[in-house]
């Protein structure tokens, strides 16, 4: 469809997505499912990280291994729903830095409203991984990439649980170098900008504010 886009294709991802979509899934279960999918997305998005060789001594013999310089990664959750993805990402890369991008989507205009930004000052030579479960119109994603790009990272990737074709198109047209990782792509948006069939409001379901 689009060589910027990686869609996780795996029976277990399908299983988790189905549980996640179910309106009867509790916030507690929903958070656990988001965490699992975030780990899998992060695993996929970090495939090309550079490694340096390191020798260790096992109880049996010396072994040649590799290490990743985790400080070269910055996770950028978009508040508030992106926070739900952070634990899963940090489980995999615990020594990454974390910056916060505070924005919400105005319900009438569907455009993002910015209310908070706190990013590490030093991005030189580091990669930025933006976390947000939902890529709907793409407005929040484009603004987040714009903000991250202004700090001069070496590269930017966007990780989301669920995406709509409109959001993928908007983000990939605005930023052709930004790779997008998603667990599923749905059909369309409804008149209120919600992904259909979707999973509802991710932030509300993560934090139990439905």
Q: Which residues bind ligand PRP (CB under 6 A)?
A: 78-81, 104-105, 110, 112, 132-141, 167, 193, 201-203
* Residue 35 annotated as catalytic: no
Binding partner at 127 among ligand URA, ligand PRP, none, C-beta below 5 to 8 Å by kind: none
109 catalytic per annotation: yes
Active-site entry in 22, 51, 69, 109: 109
Q: Is 187 left (phi over 0), alpha (psi -120 to 50) or beta?
A: alpha
Binding mask 156-185 for ligand URA (x = CB under 6 A): ------------------------------
Of residues 134, 144, 168, 171, which one binds ligand URA by CB under 6 A? 134
Which of ligand URA, ligand PRP, none interacts with 194 (beta carbon under 5 to 8 A by kind)? Answer: ligand URA
Q: Choose, from 31, 105, 126, 205, the residue flagged as catalytic.
A: 105
3-state secondary structure (DSSP) of residue 67? strand
Q: How far is residue 86 from each of residues 37, 63, 81, measured CA to CA in Å?
A: 11, 32, 10
Alpha-carbon torsion, ordered 31, 33, 36, 37, to 10 deg = -110
- Contact indicator for 178, 145 with CB cutoff of 8 Å: yes
CB atoms within 10 A of CB 120: 14
Asked whether position 37 contacts ligand URA by CB under 6 A, the answer is: no
The secondary structure element, H or E, covering residue 140 is: helix 139-149
Residue ranges of the binding site:
80, 105, 132-140, 195, 200-202
What positions carry a catalytic annotation?
Answer: 105, 109, 201, 204
């Amino acid at each position: 469809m689009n060589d910027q886009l990686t869609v996780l294709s795996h029976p277990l991802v399908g299983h988790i997505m189905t549980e996640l979509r179910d309106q009867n899934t509790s916030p507690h279960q929903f958070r656990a499912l988001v965490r699992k999918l975030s780990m899998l997305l992060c695993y996929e998005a970090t495939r090309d990280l550079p490694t340096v060789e390191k020798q260790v001594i096992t109880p049996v013999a010396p072994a040649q291994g590799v290490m990743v310089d985790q400080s070269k990664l910055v996770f950028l959750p978009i508040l508030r729903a992106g926070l739900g993805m952070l634990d899963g990402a940090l489980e995999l890369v615990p020594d990454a830095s974390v910056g916060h991008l505070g924005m919400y989507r105005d319900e009438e205009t569907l455009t993002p409203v910015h209310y908070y930004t706190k990013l590490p000052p030093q991005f030189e030579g580091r990669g930025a991984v933006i976390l947000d479960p939902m890529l709907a119109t793409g407005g929040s994603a484009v603004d987040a990439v714009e903000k991250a790009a202004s700090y001069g990272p070496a590269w930017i990737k966007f990780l989301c649980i669920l995406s709509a074709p409109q959001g993928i198109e908007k983000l990939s047209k605005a930023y052709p170098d930004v790779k997008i990782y998603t667990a599923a792509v749905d059909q369309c948006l409804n008149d209120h900008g919600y992904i259909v069939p979707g999973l509802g409001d991710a932030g509300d379901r993560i934090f139990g504010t439905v």
